[in-house]
Structure 1
């Protein structure tokens, strides 16, 4: 308040849409509480930027407190904006909108949440497709000889050793146990009807078409996918990715393509190992519990299993491998510069990879049924 009793207000900073939307209610409440019975001066000289929203709020103040406030320090740009505001437009900022009830706010928040999730999901999908497209383009350039393939092949072989060779023992073990459990449960249930021989059919169909590739992909998503995400996140923290860019090297060809190619090559081979391990376990269990010899088991397996069943299972593996690799690389690149962020990205990578793998398997199952395979 000035010496003559005049109240003094000063507006500072940017008076643009985000700031006005956030502070307009508070400003109006302050002026209302001050009870402008006498003259008031509003200093606008410290306003750095203003748009039509800010000008509309000032126009509202002029109309609402006409004759009671004096605006000072307006620059020419602000004066022009205020002059083009139609009379009465500033009053639209009054509280003549219906007050939001609790139910309305919850509904509004729910719609906002759903909208954000949809937009983020679309952006995430496009980012994943971008990584896949860059990888395909990089491999195409290698095939036509546009870029050097020596480093790419050596990097791919190194990752195949980690993704495929080192993962083989655990894949074989888990598949062996799974095949044994399926055969044991089938032998017990079908034994009640004297149909133990059909255990061979159930094992061959389940393992070759579904369980083999699905279980292998889930194991690779949890083991190799998480490792790739953590590795890329650590490289980002250590600024190794920036160093690769500074040295003029292609990040896609150096980091992304070898890992995806290693997964695409390794997963079908691991699926074959998983199928073989599971069938061997089933043959042992059937011989032990149902007294079906190995010769009879494999003879019936040969007649009940077709090449189509094997191909139907193996066709899924490259697509699942691409999905695991793209998700792992994307989550690794999204990691922040702290350990907690890497942990969150790895967790997200595993959950999304497994979810996508199961979704892909379901889509293939529906597709095979539709075309009669």
Structure 2
């Protein structure tokens, strides 16, 4: 079993982002080269020409660094474009800031309005860029009065560009906030579900501790080996109980049915899933899991499978089969839920169900990924440290 689908999806998404940034960098480089040619053709004094080229280059650089340093990039782009306008106003060097600098500024503004923490930062960037846009419009209006070609078009583009940049930034900011709120709610729900496991896990271990303590009390002073052995068992059971409670404890405790055990509970779960019209199969390449797995491990695996099957029922309506594979050789438990649905299904790799499953896997010290498989279908894959593994 190869746990690669989710990682491939994330790798492709990261590669797409890199390609977009590379294309944007090429565009900025081409625009900067064009601006250098324009400045040289107008033959300004060398300090003015050098200043205009350096300002354009710096604004383009700020645009490339906008995601890593949103606030400094936005401040630098706004100030530099304002300086370019002042140079234009004092020297009459038409078209400053340069068109490519204006484009870079608008991209920085949209990104900063989206990502800057707090409303004050977004408002400051929107206001500062509005002032720069107004100054640019004033410059273009001056050239328009002088019958300079394309001045009216440039004015319209700058006004519309600022409005679009701020609007897109605000729209994405609101969308990000809603997404974070939904993810936080899903995580809270999943953590509460983990809290409900606490009672059962604690009861499992503490019952054994109580029984062993009772045995120690019944042992007489004439049988010290039995007392010592019982105390050693109590120490071991106490350490196991502490580890389990630390792993599963969260916020609250609510009513919860008895935790499932493997593999019988998985077989029952798949039998019930057969009623949806999708044939389900359980594959145990390493045989049934050990009976002494901690309850939190069995509960986590059960609920990951349960949520994955729910996603199959909701999103893979054209799927005919789904296979649950549980391997546990070595130090890692590997779980895979794969269906054969066709590409283009509406499942989302960042949906709420997947957020909950990732939270469940992370609580057990593991990780979970999801994504399309080749040639068809969808796969949910989890790796969890095996009990006792190092």
Larger radius of gyration: 1
TM over 0.5: no
TM-score by length of 2: 0.21
TM-score by length of 1: 0.22
In terms of fraction of residues, the more helix-rich structure is 1
